[in-house]
Amino acid sequence: MTLTDAAAAWPALTVRGLVKSYGPKLAVADVSLDVPRGSFFGIVGPNGAGKTTTLRMATGLLRPDRGQVWVDGVDVWADPIAAKERIGVLPEDLALFALLHAPRLLFLDEPFEAIDPVSARAIRALLEDFTGANGTIVFSSHVMELVERMCDHVAVMVQGRIAWAGPIDVLRAGGSLEDAFVALVGEPAEREGLSWLERSSD
């Protein structure tokens, strides 16, 4: 994972002003991020917050309506071949053969959804070894406990926007990631529709 001086001056991933709409729905609204090199960076948010769409644009799989993405200073859309040489995208079954080209930046979208606990532990160890060798991981999840255990940086997405981004310990401020997340996002509106649960327990 050797880097030129020019590439080393950049974050592992730089995102500026990403916008993506699907018809009248604005899925990603002016998202900007800097992912530090060697970090384990989590993107969290409610379902429909725009996490997957953001990752697909960052990896060159989906063209944004506006905005730019750089990997090690390489423009993903201006030089897609060079950018993709630096990127690894693990599929849902986490087949690690995708890593044969020794990427510097690894993307995972909800990586542990269908993995048994034993396999998940082994995969976590491999991912931690990857960041320990100065690789960078970006992954999305809505499982707060998993993000809290694995990540050193986090971005919170709400309705297509970044509500907060930075070191996870700063966001938690001595509390839990879940409490900090709820403080940013707010209590779910659906709670009002569950009042029958409270009545049934009386």
Residue 202: its pLDDT value, please? 46
CA atoms within 13 A on the CB side of 71: 27
**For residue 201, what pLDDT is reported?**
45
Q: What structural domains does the chain harbor?
A: 5-185 (3.40.50.300)
Q: Which of 137, 60, 141 is nearest to 106 (CA)?
A: 137
CA quadruple 100, 116, 121, 137: dihedral, nearest 10: 50
What is the rounded average pLDDT of the residues 125-141?
A: 86
pLDDT surpasses 50 at 196: no
Burial of 164 (0-12, 13-18, 19+ CB in 10 A): middle
Please state the separation of Cα 108 from the chain's center in Å.
7
pTM: 0.82
User: Can you tell me the distance from the alpha carbon of 130 to that of 121, in angstroms, rounded to the nearest whole number?
Assistant: 14
Check residues 144 and 62 and name the one with the higher pLDDT.
62
pLDDT digits (tens, 9 = 90+) for 65-84: 999 999 999 999 999 999 98
Token pair 């993903």 is at which residue? 76
Q: Which residues pair with 89 in a beta bridge?
A: 107
